[in-house]
């Protein structure tokens, strides 16, 4: 099928390249000509494992990129809208300006198109957006009628940063909504190349809600685990890792097969205590759903609590630090990890940011190491943080180490610390180290007797 993907950010680029790899004819569209030039040269503007290889393989075969939206619409049957939908902190609501602008622009192009076209929203949008914002904008600017001249659908993505290519090429489910049977049938055809995958065809609002509910559930599991962890510390004599480890063995969470073998689903890793979730999706999506609930006169106290717990969780590390060092001024602290999770260089909503901010305000001296960063991102370069290039370097001559991101390299810590004459205090924000291998150890959820 002939597809245009509008927006070559993270979701649009991965979707476009992967659909080309699956045999469709794809045109990627963006208003930034620098990005389009890069894509046409076979260079991915973002780093995502495996993406550049697929781009190089498909460019100028099944895949092209352009800034010319009209040409892309005229030469495709389906358009996927993949523009940003940030959360606006001022208005406390999802910001739909890019969705609205692109819908208007696509409508303008449809005005000059005689054949039927399907417009599909791939961006994460609150329920109702596709039918109540995108569809009217398309009708208004095209002068045509939805359901007759063009169709409207919704197709959320479930891509994890760092695993996005794998998640797209081998999905666990494909969800799509359509305003009518014709729209849904076209989406079935688009995804028919994904054999043996559960496909959920529904209306647009339900498809929109599935995305939010899926992300909110995982965020809830994380905040739930963190709430239990904090109580374990307050009570004392309870280690949350023993508690969550035993919870994971509930056969409704980790089923036991007839052979006696146990399945450990990935979801158990969201049922582990830590110093909070971050990234470009969970915080933004949960906040958008809460705001949407307010608007619909249906407050969401559970999700409110999920965000409140998460906002506080990074400070648990500061609390543990202050237990040992009540005065933080001039304290030498090593921060391990800046990315919000391993295998990415994304620092959006990373727990490291509020932790670093608090330490700087307290006049502590900060060293930081993250295996993916050779330089500090620009917005941090003015802060008083020394970026180290190795784990050995960052842990030398410090009073305390705060482990924040679950990078596998940090497993070397016990061995490296054992070589130091006066090993510093270690505060494990991810509970990834064996507490018995470190002389001075504190961790999230480790209630000491």
How many Cβ atoms sit within 10 Å of the Cβ of residue 376?
17
Considering only 12-20, 78-86, 99-107, 152-160, which stretch makes contact with ligand UDX by CB under 6 A? 152-160
- Determine which one of 18, 275, 281, 388 is catalytic: 281
Q: Please, which of residues 285-304 interact with ligand UDX by CB under 6 A?
A: none
- Which residues have CB under 8 Å from 361's CB, separation 6+? none
Closest CB to ligand UDX among 282 and 292?
282
Q: How far is the CB of 405 from ligand UDX (least distance, A)?
A: 8
Is 327 in contact with 399 (CB distance < 8 Å)?
Answer: no
Interface residue with ligand UDX among 2, 111, 160, 323 (CB under 6 A) is 160
Site string for ligand UDX, 11-50 (x = CB under 6 A): ----------------------------------------
Which C-beta is closer to ligand UDX: that of 276 or that of 423? 276
Beta carbons of 392 and 420 less than 8 angstroms apart: no
306: left (phi over 0), alpha (psi -120 to 50) or beta: alpha
Q: Check binding of 87 to ligand UDX (CB under 6 A).
A: no
- Closer CB to ligand UDX, residue 158 or residue 194? 158
Tokens describing residue 227: 């709430």
Contacts (CB under 6 A) with ligand UDX, residues 267-286: 269-270, 274, 277-279, 281-282
CB of 211 to ligand UDX, least distance (A): 7
Q: How far is the CB of 222 from ligand UDX (least distance, A)?
A: 5
- Segment contacting ligand UDX by CB under 6 A, of 13-21, 50-58, 154-162, 181-189: 154-162
Contact pick of 161, 208, 399, 442 for ligand UDX (by CB under 6 A): 161
Distance of alpha carbon 244 from alpha carbon 226, whole angstroms: 10
Task: Kindly tell me which of 266 and 375 has the beta carbon lying closer to ligand UDX.
Answer: 266
Distance of closest approach, residue 259 Cβ to ligand UDX, in angstroms = 26
CA distance 314 to 297: 31
From 44, 129, 215, 226, residue interacting with ligand UDX (rule: CB under 6 A)? 215
Nearest CA among 240, 239, 227, 233 for reference residue 312: 227
* Site stretch for ligand UDX (CB under 6 A), options 32-40, 158-166, 235-243, 312-320: 158-166
- Give Rg (Cα) of the chain: 24
Instruction: Centre a 10 Å sphere on the Cβ of residue 62 and count the other Cβ atoms it contains.
Output: 18
- Neighbour-count burial of 384, counting CB atoms closer than 10 A to its CB (0-12 exposed, 13-18 middle, 19+ buried): exposed
- For 145, the token pair is 């009628």
Which of residues 5, 73, 137, 159 is near ligand UDX by CB under 6 A? 159
In the set 284, 341, 367, 431, which binds ligand UDX (CB under 6 A)? 341
Identify whether the C-beta of residue 365 lies closer than 8 Å to the C-beta of residue 385. Answer: no
Asked whether the beta carbons of 35 and 45 are under 8 A apart, the reply is yes
Contacting ligand UDX within 58-77 (CB under 6 A): none
Distances in Å between the alpha carbon of 156 and those of 169, 173, 244, 271, 394? 15, 10, 31, 24, 41
Name the minimum Å distance from CB 306 to ligand UDX: 12
CB of 390 to ligand UDX, least distance (A): 23
For ligand UDX, the closer of residues 160 and 262 by Cβ is 160
Q: Which of 389, 386, 310, 390 is nearest to 354 (CA)?
A: 310
Q: Is 388 a catalytic residue?
A: no
**Would you say 158 or 188 has its CB closer to ligand UDX?**
158
Reported residue count of the chain is 449
Q: Coil, strand or helix: which one is 113?
A: coil
Beta bridge partners of 19: none
The residues carrying an active-site annotation are 281
Q: Which residues bind to ligand UDX, rule: CB under 6 A? A: 157-161, 215, 222, 269-270, 274, 277-279, 281-282, 340-341
């Amino acid at each position: 099928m002939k597809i245009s993907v509008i927006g070559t950010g993270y979701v649009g680029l991965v979707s476009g390249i992967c659909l080309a790899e699956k045999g469709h004819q794809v045109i990627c569209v963006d208003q930034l000509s620098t990005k389009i030039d890069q894509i046409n040269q076979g260079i991915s503007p973002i780093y995502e494992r495996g993406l550049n290889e697929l781009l190089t393989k498909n460019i100028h075969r099944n895949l092209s990129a352009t800034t010319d939206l009209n040409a892309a619409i005229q030469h495709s049957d389906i358009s996927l809208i993949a523009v940003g939908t940030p959360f606006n902190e001022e208005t406390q609501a999802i910001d739909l300006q890019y969705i609205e602008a692109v819908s208007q622009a696509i409508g303008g192009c449809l005005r000059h198109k005689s054949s039927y076209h399907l417009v599909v929203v791939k961006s994460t949008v609150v329920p109702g957006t596709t039918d109540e914002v995108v569809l009217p904008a398309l009708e208004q600017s095209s002068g045509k009628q939805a359901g007759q001249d063009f169709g409207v659908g919704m197709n959320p993505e479930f891509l994890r940063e760092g695993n996005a290519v794998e998640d797209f090429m081998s999905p666990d489910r494909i969800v799509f909504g359509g305003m009518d049977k014709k729209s849904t049938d076209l989406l079935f055809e688009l995804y028919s190349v994904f054999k043996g995958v559960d496909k959920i065809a529904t209306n647009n609002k339900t498809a929109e809600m599935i995305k939010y509910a899926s992300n909110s559930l995982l965020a809830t599991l994380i905040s739930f685990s963190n709430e239990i962890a904090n109580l374990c510390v307050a009570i004392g004599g309870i280690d949350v890792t023993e508690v969550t480890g035993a919870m994971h063995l509930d056969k409704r969470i980790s089923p036991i097969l007839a052979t006696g073998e146990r399945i450990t689903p990935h979801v158990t890793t969201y049922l582990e205590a830590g110093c909070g979730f971050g990234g470009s999706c969970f915080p933004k999506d949960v906040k958008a759903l809460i705001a949407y609930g307010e608007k619909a006169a249906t407050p969401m106290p559970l999700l409110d609590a999920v965000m409140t717990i998460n906002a506080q969780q990074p400070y648990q590390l500061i609390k543990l630090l202050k237990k040992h060092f009540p005065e933080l001024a001039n304290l030498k602290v090593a921060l391990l990890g800046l990315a919000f999770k391993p295998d990415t260089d994304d620092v959006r909503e990373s727990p490291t940011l509020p932790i670093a901010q608090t330490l700087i305000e307290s006049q502590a001296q900060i060293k930081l190491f993250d295996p993916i960063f050779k330089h500090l991102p620009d917005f941090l370069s003015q802060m008083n943080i020394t970026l180290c290039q190795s784990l050995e370097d960052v842990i030398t001559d410090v009073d305390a180490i705060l482990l924040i991101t679950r990078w596998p390299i940090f497993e070397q810590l016990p061995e490296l610390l054992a070589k130091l004459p006066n090993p510093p205090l270690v505060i494990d924000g991810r509970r990834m180290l064996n507490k018995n291998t470190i002389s001075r150890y504190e961790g999230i959820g480790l209630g000491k007797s």
